[in-house]
Amino acid sequence: MSHETTESLIGYPELASDKGLKAGALGLFSSIVVGMASTAPAYSLAASLGFVVATANGDGIVGVKAPSIMLLAFVPMFLIAVAYQQLNRAEPDCGTTFTWAARAFGPRAGWLGGWGIIAADVIVMANLAQIAGSYTFSLFHLDDLAASTFWSTVAGVVWIIVMTWICYKGIEVSARLQYGLLGIELVILFAFSVTALVKVYGGNATPESLKPSISWLIPSDMSLSAMVTATLIAVFIYWGWDTAVSVNEETSDPAKTPGRAAIISTLLLLVTYALVSISTVAFAGVGEADLGLANPDNSGDVFNALGPTVFGDSALGKLFETLLIISVLTSASASTQTTILPTARTALSMGAYKAIPSRFATIHPRNLTPSVATVWMGAVSIIFYVGLTLVSSDVLGDSIAAVGLMIAFYYGLTGFACVWFYRHDLGNSVKELFQKGILPGLGGLMLLGAFVIASYQYAQPDYGSTTFFGIGGVFVIGIGALLVGVVLMVIYNAVAPAYFRRETLPKRGEGDLVLLTPEMELDTVRLPDSGLPALVLAPDLSNLPEGSTAVDVETGEAMHVDESGDIVEGFATPEQEQLYEDLVADETLREPTGEQHHDVPPHEDGTEQA
């Protein structure tokens, strides 16, 4: 494989010339592919659909109303996608919710927003690793090993290690491979759905099969508690579309394309999930025996349970069954990687602004990846995964539900941050009022309501598979993770208060630095959707790789660290100075996009931020 190299700016997404995919290489279509693939449709449905069906609803279950839950979960996701679109225009920062909430509400809200992302990603790794581990054995027809908790856990840990190493090395994938893998995944899901419906209408499905009804799409005959709980589980299925926003540095129009891609991605996912949920419910039914979706033996992995029956014993059927296994496996493994990447990216941003130890902002001098944050993410994920497996008999169900709380928390916070960030613009026009105020605010309120109601439901001792001191295990995992974040924030505030005094996160454009990098490879190999993280430089250049130059994009001032460790003005090498001049000449380096006049929260003593 031949490799093309180039110089690029890292850390200011809208100014970057390259981060692994060539600048401008991702148009609207490519960005939509990234957004859809990052949700891992096959894996998400395999791991979640059964739990949506089995959600308690009074004396019964949600059952055939599962497709309507897919529609309900889409609404807050779409509204928060609008919030991401608007905030990305003004502040395309790799810290996303961490940075946006800090700008809008202050450092503590930002810190908890960043922690919410990290906690959600660590928790979901348990589920991702479990699916990847069991499907690895299923692919080779090692059913006994696939059914073994011990061996599935071992395989899951291996997957985490492999994906962490790939993220550490910063290996990229070609866009064509992304298209191919997502295309296969969607084709298999479509084939599964069509085959299931054909058998239902042909009378060749399971004895529990049902004819689809339009009433399945209407969220009626459900209690508020059942509706909220099932919707929060379904929110997990949509989770990941925001990756389309995080790769804006590789798009042809960073200010517009990522936001549009995020919104279109959620619409296409809605169609996909509605089709698959209708066909699966129709084929298997919602009973608690045999292949019924409410059967606890099937809830954690519906495709593994239904695949052989749907596709049959013919040679073609066996081929499609194998492709279904491969789709879920690659979907889960790719999602494992794309879970590590944004977590390391968030930790990198938090470390750069001294919200957590600055060591987390370390950038590998050769790989140009957040090396310390990546390794820590992998290690903590393994510890949590193994620990939860030892404690819970149903790690899939408990972890998915707990992740729903984390998603509702930081997505909701993002919605509210958008409203407050743009509060002075809401009177400019009706369009701005809706896009920057009403829609994001409504999304935030919906997720806040879901968070509160679901928390009460999850705390009941009969919810989930585990209890701790008479409290539901899902509540303990979800709320406990948030409380751990509060404790860590208080401790770090006492140890290193600079960030909490707003000394390290200045107003955008004032002192923000970009990294003028050495050579980077463009044409290398990686699983889908996993572009190199946007790298942030700490104001004191503590994470500037050796031999690199930092540039203030507002003033054009260049600086680097000399051999004695002192910060000096100027470029590290003549080649980097020439590169900077070339970037300015061809307008690759340009003024930041988006509004720059928004308020910055005052200091603790009431004075305004400089």
**Phi and psi for 87 in degrees, rounded to 5?**
-70, -35
Check: CB of residue 109 under 8 Å from CB of residue 97. Answer: no
CA distance 231 to 215: 17
Within 38-106, residue ranges assigned H as helices are: 41-53, 66-90, 97-105
Q: Between 342 and 515, where is the model more confident?
A: 342
Residue in 224, 219, 217, 269 with CA at minimum distance from that of residue 244? 269
Centre a 10 Å sphere on the Cβ of residue 1 and count the other Cβ atoms it contains.
7
**Phi and psi for 477 in degrees, rounded to 5?**
-65, -50
Residue 590 has pLDDT above 70, yes or no: no
Q: What is the pLDDT at residue 602?
A: 37
Rounded to 5°, the CA angle 507-516-597 comes to: 20
**pLDDT single digits (tens) 522-554:** 333 333 333 333 455 677 777 777 777 877 755
Residue 92 has pLDDT above 90, yes or no: no
Confidence grade of residue 382 (pLDDT, cut at 50, 70, 90): very high
* Residue 560, SS3 per DSSP: strand
In this structure, is residue 10 part of a structural domain? yes
Q: What is the pLDDT at residue 601?
A: 37
Mean pLDDT of the chain, nearest integer: 78
Residues of the chain with pLDDT > 70: what percent?
76
Count of domains in the chain? 1
The CATH number linked to 430 is 1.20.1740.10
Check: CB of residue 593 under 8 Å from CB of residue 27. Answer: no
Q: Between 573 and 490, where is the model more confident?
A: 490
Q: What is the pLDDT at residue 417?
A: 94
In this structure, is residue 94 part of a structural domain? yes
In this structure, is residue 516 part of a structural domain? no
Task: Report in angstroms the alpha-carbon separations of 563 from 362, 436, 451, 540, 566.
Answer: 18, 48, 52, 16, 7
Confidence grade of residue 179 (pLDDT, cut at 50, 70, 90): low
Task: Report in angstroms the alpha-carbon separations of 124 from 65, 139, 350, 368, 387.
Answer: 25, 22, 21, 26, 13
* Residue 513, SS3 per DSSP: strand
Confidence grade of residue 411 (pLDDT, cut at 50, 70, 90): very high
Residue 521 has pLDDT above 60, yes or no: no
Q: What is the pLDDT at residue 591?
A: 41
Check: CB of residue 444 under 8 Å from CB of residue 413. Answer: yes
Q: What is the Cβ-side half-sphere exposure of residue 11, based on CA atoms within 13 angstroms? A: 32
- The residue range of the domain holding 332 is 5-501
Residue 14 has pLDDT above 50, yes or no: no
Comparing 133-147, 186-200, 494-508, which segment has the lowest mean pLDDT? 494-508
In this structure, is residue 563 part of a structural domain? no
For the record, the structure tokens of 454 come out as 């679901």
Residue 492 has pLDDT above 70, yes or no: yes
The alpha carbon torsion through 490, 496, 499, 501 (nearest 10 deg) reads: 80
Give this prediction's pTM.
0.76
**pLDDT single digits (tens) 421-454:** 999 889 999 999 999 999 999 999 999 999 999 8
Rounded to 5°, the CA angle 245-119-127 comes to: 90
CA distance 102 to 601: 8
Check: CB of residue 94 under 8 Å from CB of residue 467. Answer: no
Rounded to 5°, the CA angle 74-77-78 comes to: 85
